[in-house]
């Protein structure tokens, strides 16, 4: 982080993030990917990974961008000091399921190489803002259909 750039406040996180995500997932699935309220119109997908340690299926709602046929997300966890659990799950089990609107399909996840980051970052313009919230380099994850 640059000494000239003051750290930004992290976005307001719901007190019960698990309950917030469960509600979003239920609404997403019930309405074929359409959400209401402050989440309406956002580019969101549901990612279901296999737990790295538990082996259980875990689902999360994520914002995404596109680069051609690829879906691009960032493993920010709202600027947390550590990458989110879903990212660690993908490192252990890179095949996952994505729900996008009414569609559900399998993908293979890869982490962007250093030389790919600048181009892929264009697909997720909020990466720069999220990066100001943490010292770690936020991974960029690319999903391709299998």
User: Taking the model in full, what pTM does it have?
Assistant: 0.86
β-pair partners for 96: 107
- Percent of the chain's residues with pLDDT above 70: 91
User: Helix, strand, or coil here: 126?
Assistant: coil
**Helices and strands, number each (H, E), in the chain:** 4, 7
- Residue 15 CA from chain centroid, whole number: 19
Average per-residue pLDDT for the chain:
90
Integer CA distances (angstroms), 145 to 30, 54, 64, 140, in order: 23, 25, 15, 17
- What number of CA atoms fall less than 13 Å from residue 62's CA on the CB side? 29
55 phi-psi bin (left φ>0, alpha ψ -120 to 50, beta other): left
| pLDDT tens track for 50-88 | 999 999 999 999 999 999 999 999 999 989 999 999 999
Integer CA distances (angstroms), 97 to 45, 103, 108, in order: 10, 10, 9
């Amino acid at each position: 982080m640059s000494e000239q750039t003051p750290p930004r406040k992290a976005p307001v996180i719901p007190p019960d993030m698990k309950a917030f995500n469960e509600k979003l997932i239920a609404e997403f699935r019930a309405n074929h990917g359409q959400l209401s309220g402050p989440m309406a119109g956002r580019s969101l997908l549901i990612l279901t990974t296999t737990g790295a340690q538990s082996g259980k299926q875990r689902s999360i709602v994520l914002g995404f961008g596109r680069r051609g046929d690829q879906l691009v997300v960032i493993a920010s966890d709202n600027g947390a000091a550590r990458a989110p659990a879903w990212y660690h799950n993908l490192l252990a089990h890179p095949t996952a399921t994505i729900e996008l609107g009414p569609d559900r399909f399998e993908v293979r996840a890869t982490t962007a190489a250093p030389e790919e980051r600048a181009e892929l970052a264009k697909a997720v313009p909020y990466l720069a803002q999220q990066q100001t919230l943490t010292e770690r380099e936020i991974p960029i994850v690319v999903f391709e259909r299998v």
